Amino acid sequence: MRADRDRHTTAVAALLAVAGLLLGGCSSAASTTASTPGSASSDTVGSAPAQGAAAGGGASAASAAAASGAPPAGDARPGVTPLEPLPAAVPAALAPYYAQRLDWQPCDDAFECTTFKVPLDYAHPEGGDLALSAVRAPALPADSGSGPGSAGAGRLGSLLLNPGGPGGSAVEYVEAAASSFDRGVRARYDLVGLDPRGVGRSSPVTCLSGERMDAYTAVDITPDDQAEIDALVAADKEFAEGCRRQAGDRLGHLGTVEAARDMDVLRALVGDERLNYVGKSYGTFLGATYAGLFPTRTGRIVLDGAMDPSLDSLSGNRTQAGGFETAWAAFAGDCVKREDCPLGRTEQQAGEKLTALFQAVDARPLPTGDSGRRLTEAQATTGVIQAMYADFLWPRLRTALADAEAGDGTGLLKLSDSYYDRGADGSYPNLMFANMAVNCLDLPAPFAGPADVLRAVPEFEQSSPRFGRDMAWMALTCSYWPVRATGSAHTVRAAGAAPIVVVGTTRDPATPYAWAQSLADQLESGRLLTYDGDGHTAYGRRDACVDGAVNRYLLGGEAPENGKRCGA
């Protein structure tokens, strides 16, 4: 499924998982500077490995994926074919785009900004352009590096970053993260953020006013009768129609393949022969797509919190529900050991109390301290889901749940609002609109209508007793999308590419660990790096093992051994 905040705070709020958007079209923005990538710290965050987790890629990864309910990886999966690379030579019709000159200008304090053009439709470049925006943090002076390989080393070019989403602003991400990146990496790379087409500053898609988004976020996503189903369908249709009306022809050209082709144009314009890249969550799908399309132009690629491109939308949503259930179990197990836990003293009690709270809020929304807004069941669920993205949010969730039991929904509403990045003035950024637009283009809708959802709910609830029903209904929005999907499930081999590092966290809620195993197994040169711990994504979580392995790779090209494990 986001306040007057300064620019740094706003951007940091998008770091962890703008990243981890729910595949049904909902997003999350849970994050703080503690999750800034490349942060140099020896503090280890994490706990014991998840039971039954495989130790590496290859056959063990495929077995673990099958045990988790995900389909086996590899090209032999029925109905799933590999993403084929594009021709190595730049087509003549696209040559003018690759020949542009970037005009970097000072912007946003210590950064440099530029814009450039790409075709709206790569198949028909004569049909008009889109303007895309990028930012860079120029490399630090050579003697400022402190990481491995920094001393006396020359520049390596640009390192393109993407925080995920889809819909997360890479411009804001770079401006928030640059100061916390490993200084060795900073000394050898310009950090570059490109807002993908339709996102942030790059011809952004908008769909609803703030007032209508408030209504959209509050609508019941666990309908109990036909009237509530009709209200949910009406909300989804209003969202889709708003996007069609305001985005026009752009709405059919915001898919990941086109965004990956835009990245290749920027690679050429910054003067790099190969793309060096760190992508988180959906950013892994974008990066893997680039590698599949342009394997010979693929440099040092890190895919953290990996998505599995071989899953169809139904399978992806269902297995993601299981990821949130895994994260809930970790939270509940921690909570019941603490004095301030409002959920009882056993994990079973915790689950029962949460279910009872949702039911009570469904029957009677709670008052909050926000201008008469009341907390609905949908917002209460969203608030809990938001806190699953990072264990540093768990204390805040305990307090919010205790307040809700006492009749005050303010804490859960604030968590829900941060999930959507809602401003204190009631405004919403472009994140959710772009998220839905990209997701609905990349894969066909999992459901034709409410009857399909009702049939699928039992399987979703089997994957996640806590969140399965909600996430099944969340996936309905693309059923009413005004343009047809242009993508489909596929594997990515990227044959001939340099080593690609795939990072997976064992109890990641938004991108389940099995997805990282599957992607690493699909990629011909994939190297799986495992973080045993909680939360969404791992690089920059202050685990010296993960950060060290990634930084050594970025600086020296030394990819970690496939199957390397980090964390407590």
Active site residues: 281, 508, 536
**Residue keyed to tokens 């730049």:** 90
Beta carbons of 446 and 472 less than 8 angstroms apart: no
Alpha-carbon distance 137 to 518, whole Å?
33
CB 9 within 8 A of CB 527: no
Query: Taking a C-beta distance cutoff of 8 angstroms, is the pair 338, 178 a contact?
Result: no
What is the identity of the amino acid at 416? S
Q: What backbone phi and psi angles, to 5 degrees, belong to 228?
A: -75, -35
Residue with tokens 């999992």: 446
Nearest to 492 by CA among 467, 458, 515: 515
Matching residue, tokens 């008009």:
128
Cα 442 off chain centre by: 14
In this structure, what are the phi and psi dihedrals at residue 244, rounded to the nearest 5 degrees? Answer: -60, -45
Dist. CA 123–CA 100, nearest whole Å? 19
- Distance between CA atoms of residues 118 and 359, nearest Å: 49
Token output for 508: 């990641």
**∠ CA(508), CA(547), CA(157), 5° rounding?**
115
Q: Which of 226, 225, 293, 224 is nearest to 258 (CA)?
A: 293
What is the spatial distance between Cα 146 and Cα 431, in angstroms, rounded to a whole number? Answer: 35
* CA 523 centroid distance within chain: 20
The helix (H) or strand (E) run that includes residue 518 is: helix 513-522
- How far apart are alpha carbons 475 and 444 in whole angstroms? 11
- What CA–CA distances, in Å, run from 481 to 59, 95, 207, 378, 437? 38, 33, 12, 22, 8
**The amino acid at 187:** A
Which residue reads 């950090």 in tokens?
A: 191
- Say if CB 20 and CB 509 are below 8 A apart: yes
b/e 113-124 (16+ beta carbons within 10 angstroms → b): bbebebbbebee
